[in-house]
Amino acid sequence: MSALVPPRSWVTSANGHLDFALQNLPFGIFRRAASNEAPRVGVAIGDAILDVAACLAAGLFDEQSELTRQAARTCASPALNALMALGADARRALRDAVMALLHEDCAVHRQQIAQHALVPQQDAELFLPAQVGDYTDFYASVHHATNVGAMFRPDNPLLPNYKWVPIGYHGRASSLVVSGTPVRRPNGQRKGPTDDVPTVGPSRSLDYELELGAFVGTGNALGEPIPMASAESHLWGLCLLNDWSARDLQAWEYQPLGPFLAKNFASTISPWVVTLEALAPFRAPLAPRASGDPEPLPYLTDARDATQGGFALTVEVWLRTPRMRDEQAPPVRISQGSALDLYWSFAQMLAHHASSGCNLRPGDLLGSGTISGATPDSRGCLLELTRRGAEPLSLPNGETRGFLLDGDEITMTAYAERDGVGRIGFGRCVGEVRAAPALAGT
Amino acid sequence: MSALVPPRSWVTSANGHLDFALQNLPFGIFRRAASNEAPRVGVAIGDAILDVAACLAAGLFDEQSELTRQAARTCASPALNALMALGADARRALRDAVMALLHEDCAVHRQQIAQHALVPQQDAELFLPAQVGDYTDFYASVHHATNVGAMFRPDNPLLPNYKWVPIGYHGRASSLVVSGTPVRRPNGQRKGPTDDVPTVGPSRSLDYELELGAFVGTGNALGEPIPMASAESHLWGLCLLNDWSARDLQAWEYQPLGPFLAKNFASTISPWVVTLEALAPFRAPLAPRASGDPEPLPYLTDARDATQGGFALTVEVWLRTPRMRDEQAPPVRISQGSALDLYWSFAQMLAHHASSGCNLRPGDLLGSGTISGATPDSRGCLLELTRRGAEPLSLPNGETRGFLLDGDEITMTAYAERDGVGRIGFGRCVGEVRAAPALAGT
């Protein structure tokens, strides 16, 4: 018998693809670039995108279940919300049908698909995958919370609630942008420890934050909590999230109600939503809690979640400065961590979120918070990597960075690989920093 | 010459109406109760609602400007967002046309309107006036901030940033509900000062917060701040807002990222949006800053705002307990304050919000934060009124309240009156507390 091998596609670029092999099949929203086409649902396969609505129109789902066809009928819309609202069974049904169409064993329709329903990614424009009604950002890495706390509150780095409460806060939905959108440096108030009064101007401490985002599938009614036992069934898929942060604004504004302008100028997400099915082979327990830490309270406890609540994803941040671009040098990796280095699972975050009765809606986005590990090279933001700018990064070309300068480009990636399963990746989450706009009165 | 008198309407219930006289004309979303009608835009007039789309369909705006007709064409939609997006000129044009139709001098169409385009309020179901993309809550009353700060941080009640930064945070949009919607008490973690570990269960310190909400009209592009000089033109109108708060959850969860589950289980708003035109006669400067306080920074300064940035509205909270309802006793007023008791104007909040480049969208909601004045009877929440429950309110029937019990009903009102102008009111913002749902694991 042959060893287990990943499935192969007749879309040859998919086989061995670092991100979008047949076993991944992430969903997104696309159209041909510079066209008047309506944005619609696509599935990434190798270097191409499968147009799901075009497959439906061509009758390629005629033999499928009603659930599959119902799911496919949502794919003419310019956001994944309607598909997400159908829940996990519909996602699985559609994914299975798409996988069958793209599998190397599918001989019948491949000509038709290749001609009418495959768009090269290089010819496509990608959009936000969902219309995000509410965006919530958590703070689920205990290493991040400890490192940051030590800088903002040296006497009190990790607050007493951290190991009991999956700390989170409401973020800004309007300023979520898709990978590739330039990010303007924000203006704002900042007041250094030796300043008498605050000043206003472009942030001097612009940072990125490496996060995963989880999209909500089916929601819950207001006033109806989601128990841990079913929390996972409300998760639809994951993306990369860069929660850009202006540290000088944050330090001055964040008490007592939390970060506001320091975060709401932009948050970038990757265009492809990786489904829980693609991630299933990479489920694992989160890094163990330190000895002496409390067990999660019962409403945050689930046996399955305890053993496979995490995602064994490698997450990376890459920096390219304007000089590197001028010199045609490639981006340099500045951190590498693991998505298992979280103290709370997404299921716990979701169950906690709904425990108050708060209603989650299809397409809502939950951010993990900055993913930092125990080692210095796994710190997920410059605030931690450079100790608030005091120990700047040294780049191979001799440049240094304490925080981001205009023109700097940050790229985030995530991937997982296993023998027999193959590799899946998230694609890229990219943003380039642009100069701050003029602000009247400054 | 006769003294200036308020305009009169042929809708006789409007004349002398405490809320909805002809000089008010607030906008909302309605349909006939228990009907299959599509929700649509209405204007409150006396005890009735004018169906704007029905007026348009009947040709009553045929003689009006294209801008008026464009505005009226948005009124078949189930939310005010499209009308809000048209901005201040369109709002004024439509309001003027509606006022002309309802004025006692309008003889021609009144029969037609009364028959086909007026719905009694008692027969109507009211909805959220807008689809709120993002809800932001500010903290603009210095009295509230000081009173609350003294309880949560006795050594440090008013933080150093307060008088420089219009402090705000992102709230939860999904759980905004319209007046009349019951509110379920949230479950959550709480840990008293003498508790070893947190416990989970229904909040024991459920509170209301008396606020005004401001709807955004035209928005701004991401990365493009809104200068103070034009901030007011982005404000569309005001409503009442009850930012229900679970104080025990809040105390345990709020550091370092701000309130989360303590607030996101429900926020109630009144159904009628009172326009800036109706409010124009009641513009006034905010209460003066204390001597020694800093002037607002230039990006938050505007000459017109300094003299009329506030709204001279009386704001009230009324409580009715289940026993009072059983005894058919009327609600009792438990506080009365002024919307001039804010440290920051809505224009300042809006300009600050956009100063980072954050994009505001039509229909976004900005909450003022709890409106408390300097006197004990003007404190806008129970936390302040009862000093965290330590000094319970004594009600006329002998009951007491530290925080809200199940079955308690909170009603908020706002109004203004001036000789020659008459009186306008906001209607009511009502919510009754229901028992907490079951929470698995508790």
The answer to whether A258 contacts B360, with C-beta atoms less than 8 Å apart, is no
- What's the mean pLDDT when you consider all of chain A? 97
Does the structure show a pLDDT above 80 at A322? yes
HSE, CB side, 13 Å, CA atoms: give it for residue A105.
5
Q: Using an 8 Å Cβ cutoff, are B213 and B80 in contact? A: no
SS3 B384: helix
Q: How far apart are alpha carbons B221 and B243 in whole angstroms?
A: 28
Q: Do domains A12-127 and A135-434 have the same CATH topology?
A: no
Strand stretches in B347-428, DSSP E: 365-367, 393-394, 400-401, 409-418, 422-425
Q: How far apart are alpha carbons A90 and A75 in whole angstroms?
A: 12
> How confident is the model over A344-379, as pLDDT tens digits?
999 999 999 999 999 999 999 999 999 999 999 999
CA A403 to chain centre: 22
Does residue B255 have a known ligand-binding role?
Answer: no
Q: How far is B149 from chain A (nearest CA, A)?
A: 9
Does the structure show a pLDDT above 70 at A308? yes
> How confident is the model over A59-99, as pLDDT tens digits?
999 999 999 999 999 999 999 999 999 999 999 999 999 99
Instruction: Check if CATH label 2.30.30.230 holds for domain B12-127.
Output: yes
> How confident is the model over B251-294, as pLDDT tens digits?
999 999 999 999 999 999 999 999 999 999 999 999 999 999 99
The confidence score (pLDDT) of residue B387 equals: 96
Nearest alpha carbon to residue B213 among B184, B171, B252: B171
Q: Using an 8 Å Cβ cutoff, are A364 and A133 in contact? A: yes
Residues of B in contact with A177 (CB under 8 A): 222
Strand stretches in B192-234, DSSP E: 199-202, 206-207, 210-216
Q: How far apart are alpha carbons B374 and B144 in whole angstroms?
A: 9
Does the structure show a pLDDT above 50 at A1? no
- The string of DSSP codes covering B5-20 is ----BSSGGGTT-SS-
The confidence score (pLDDT) of residue B108 equals: 85
For residue B312 the two structure tokens come to 């001279």
Does the structure show a pLDDT above 80 at A228? yes
By Cβ distance, the residue of A186, A200, A441 closest to B357 is A186
The confidence score (pLDDT) of residue B228 equals: 98
Does the structure show a pLDDT above 50 at A383? yes
The confidence score (pLDDT) of residue B1 equals: 43
Q: Using an 8 Å Cβ cutoff, are A211 and A414 in contact? A: no
The number of residues making up chain B comes to 442
**Catalytic residue flag (residue A144):** yes
For residue A299 the two structure tokens come to 């409403």
Q: Which amino acid is at B126?
A: L
Q: Which amino acid is at B260?
A: F
Give φ, ψ of A149 to 5 degrees.
-55, -35
DSSP structural state of residue A153: -
The answer to whether B170 contacts A169, with C-beta atoms less than 8 Å apart, is yes
The answer to whether A173 contacts B253, with C-beta atoms less than 8 Å apart, is no
- The string of DSSP codes covering A65-129 is -HHHHHHHHGGGSSSSHHHHHTHHHHHHHHHHHHHHHHBTT--SSHHHHHHHTEEEGGGEEEE-S
Q: Which amino acid is at A151?
A: M
Q: ω into residue B256 within 30 of 0, thus cis?
A: yes
The answer to whether B165 contacts A298, with C-beta atoms less than 8 Å apart, is no
Residue with tokens 């300043």: A195
Q: Using an 8 Å Cβ cutoff, are B367 and B135 in contact? A: yes
Residues of A in contact with B298 (CB under 8 A): 200, 441-442
Q: Using an 8 Å Cβ cutoff, are B315 and B337 in contact? A: yes
For B34: left if phi > 0, alpha if psi spans -120 to 50, otherwise beta; the answer is: left
By Cβ distance, the residue of B257, B266, B438 closest to A167 is B257
Chain A interface mutation, best of B155, B257, B305, highest count of A Cβ atoms under 10 Å: B257
Select which of A144, A234, A352, A353 is catalytic.
A144
B311 forms beta bridges with B283
Give φ, ψ of B325 to 5 degrees.
-65, -45
Mean pLDDT for A240-244 is: 98
Q: Taking CB atoms and an 8 Å cut-off, how many pairs form between chains A and B?
A: 247
Residue with tokens 């990757």: A270
Q: Any idea where the domains of chain A sit in the sequence?
A: 12-127, 135-434
Q: How far apart are alpha carbons B349 and B217 in whole angstroms?
A: 14
For residue B225, the chain A residue with the least C-alpha distance is A439
Does residue B139 have a known ligand-binding role?
Answer: yes
The confidence score (pLDDT) of residue A4 equals: 76
Q: Using an 8 Å Cβ cutoff, are B30 and B39 in contact? A: yes
B426 CB-near residues (< 8 Å, 6+ apart): B19, B26, B238, B239, B240, B270, B272, B274, B313, B413, B414, B415
Does the structure show a pLDDT above 90 at A174? yes
For residue B328 the two structure tokens come to 């058919």
Mean pLDDT for A406-424 is: 97
Mean pLDDT for A25-38 is: 96
B230 CB-near residues (< 8 Å, 6+ apart): none
Crossing angle of helices B87-102 and B66-73, in 10° steps, is 90
Mean pLDDT for A329-334 is: 98
Q: What percent of chain A has pLDDT over 70?
A: 99
Q: How far apart are alpha carbons B208 and B428 in whole angstroms?
A: 15
Band (pLDDT 50/70/90 cuts) for residue A318 is very high
By Cβ distance, the residue of B168, B175, B256 closest to A359 is B175
List residues of B with catalytic annotation. Answer: 144
By Cβ distance, the residue of B198, B265, B297 closest to A356 is B265
By Cβ distance, the residue of B133, B165, B170 closest to A171 is B170
The confidence score (pLDDT) of residue B120 equals: 98
Q: How far is B130 from chain A (nearest CA, A)?
A: 14
Q: How far apart are the first and last CA of chain A?
A: 72
B369 CB-near residues (< 8 Å, 6+ apart): B137, B138, B139, B140, B141, B144, B145, B168, B209, B211, B243, B342
The answer to whether B254 contacts A256, with C-beta atoms less than 8 Å apart, is yes
CA dihedral sign, ordered A57, A59, A64, A65: positive
Q: Which amino acid is at A431?
A: G
Q: How far apart are alpha carbons A204 and A202 in whole angstroms?
A: 6
A399 CB-near residues (< 8 Å, 6+ apart): A321, A323, A324
Chain A interface mutation, best of B222, B356, B358, B432, highest count of A Cβ atoms under 10 Å: B356
Residues of A in contact with B264 (CB under 8 A): 170, 353, 356, 358
Residues of B in contact with A134 (CB under 8 A): 172-174
Architecture in CATH of B135-434: Alpha-Beta Complex (3.90)
Q: How far apart are alpha carbons B271 and B43 in whole angstroms?
A: 11
Residues of A in contact with B189 (CB under 8 A): 161, 164-165, 297
Q: Which residues of chain B are under the pLDDT cut of 70?
A: 1-3
For B387: left if phi > 0, alpha if psi spans -120 to 50, otherwise beta; the answer is: left
Q: How many CB atoms lie within 10 A of CB A233?
A: 16
Nearest 5 degrees, angle CA A421-CA A427-CA A433? 155
Q: Which DSSP helix (H) or strand (E) runs through B227? A: none
Q: Which DSSP helix (H) or strand (E) runs through B82? A: helix B81-85
The answer to whether B260 contacts A167, with C-beta atoms less than 8 Å apart, is yes
Q: Which amino acid is at A43?
A: V
